[in-house]
Structure 1
């Protein structure tokens, strides 16, 4: 079984999947393969066994058990199904991969903080570095996984831009406000590391959570909430949604369009100008 998992991991890397996706899919697939071993009472499992015994009913039985035992919601089930489908494609079983349908996603509006709450957040930062992390996440809209990989030479100081390596190895260029750019320039002068914020994603998440509590913000604040907050702020100021899509590195405009649901007052004003004038 370990050899299959290792080959599968290499295949995912070749497909250009992110480290987080590879880690998540490997956990799901390993759990699934252990289920097959136990269900079929096998000592070990190989590619021939999987291709011989795996079918839609077995997959659904596994998903049903996981849903009950781990209380999975529809979003988690979708992730499980994507993981198993990718295993099937790795095994050249495209037909079966197409047969397992994911449940509809629980569509929730993105959470965000106001500019006033953002100001309270940076004022509550425990250190200069932590303040820069919060500002960088908000003003650039980068993902936390992108933030912790940004190097000194990724910042083009004379242009006020930063090169960001996003999902699937796709690079994009993001602007940085002048004041933040100057603070970063001062900060990295005495920095030994080539990585600007040499932390793990989890460490950054803890910094944001701790700072939000200290600031008295009664919301769950995460790096992704800061990303949502930038998009919502820009959209409310009338910035074209296509520019926001480019800024956030969204592969599809439909992903970015969810932010149009969190600024209803602004949209009402636009409608008044267009239709009621």
Structure 2
């Protein structure tokens, strides 16, 4: 018996081997998709799943995405629409793989969406290296605390911020790390089944290694038998009690608090460090294929965005034609465009 759209969605969400956060996002996306279907006269509760078409997905994206995003709010709305689109496409792929919709072609859907890509491609967030370095320097300058619990938290903050900045880990990847995933002797992080279930290696420097070691020592990891199973970062850890893995919302709130304390007016999130690293790698002329592997980009087009964003050759020739740029005096340092980005 052919399931209804609603039944197929429920089965898809129950059987999907994805992180709880991704499942929650896909559930929101498919709820929005069902609302779109109802506006089109198709009731997900009664309509068979075979009633779904490629036009339903295209119409869903067209209805949600701004036609020509200009403001930050419009760009944000576009990003949300693309996130929801990813959930719907994953559902359509499930229908095809499970033979629930024999006439559905995900290849044709991909071609239709590819033809629309130019219209629905948001720019990456504009992240200035100066802002990230200012936050990093602020964290590194935090004075040692006399109370062991407060000193433990300070060390955790330093290690967490440095690891985000040097590796470009996604927030979910950071929170899922165990000590066994981090090799201090090689300076590597093994990301096990990151986005799209892809694993990869990424790297960090000596300063980050020392910060991690200082945090783990203050946490008292040596008193535990199998330290490899301990979370790399704990949510609420006390000396001698590593605790449970840190939660994404905790990291988000922490970075927001640190950015405010550092005097930054530009919004900084955990993902800002990822964008900052990708931009810096491209600026230093690291090969695109290497950047793609380090960042875990499934699509080379994602890496290419940063190549366009960092266009130093164009800037150099412009300055050669019109002279070096001399910024006006009396301007606040915060929020001013970085001429090197």
Larger RCO, structures 1/2 (Cα 8 Å, 6+ apart): 1
Greater fraction helix: 1
| Distance change (3 Å), C-alpha of 1:107 and 1:190 | same
Give the superposition deviation at 1:153: 1.1
Residue 12 in structure 1 maps to residue 39 in structure 2: no
Distance 2:282 2:39 in 1: 52
How is 1:114-129 mapped onto 2 (pairs within 5 angstroms)?
Answer: 114=129, 116-125=130-139, 127-129=154-156
Contact 2:9 2:91 (C-alpha < 8 Å) held by counterparts: no
Give the superposition deviation at 1:7: 1.2
Q: So what's the TM-score if we normalise by structure 1?
A: 0.76
Of 112, 115, 119, the match for 2:127: 112
Distance 2:275 2:39 in 1: 43
1:51 match? 49
Residue 173 in structure 1 maps to residue 201 in structure 2: yes
Q: So what's the TM-score if we normalise by structure 2?
A: 0.64
Give the superposition deviation at 1:109: 3.9
Give the superposition deviation at 1:190: 4.0
Contact 1:141 1:230 (C-alpha < 8 Å) held by counterparts: yes
Distance 2:36 2:309 in 1: 42
| Distance change (3 Å), C-alpha of 1:57 and 1:220 | same
How is 1:61-210 mapped onto 2 (pairs within 5 angstroms)?
Answer: 73-89=77-93, 90=95, 91-92=100-101, 95=104, 98=108, 101-102=112-113, 103=116, 104-114=119-129, 116-125=130-139, 127-165=154-192, 166-191=194-219, 194-197=230-233, 198-210=245-257
Aligned residues: 263
Distance 2:55 2:292 in 1: 39
Contact 1:155 1:161 (C-alpha < 8 Å) held by counterparts: yes
Give the superposition deviation at 1:142: 0.9
Superposed CA offset, 1:152-181 (max 9, x none)? 111112212121122133221222201210
Distance 2:59 2:294 in 1: 42
- The gaps in structure 1 that reach 5 residues or longer are 271-277
CA RMSD after TM alignment: 3.6
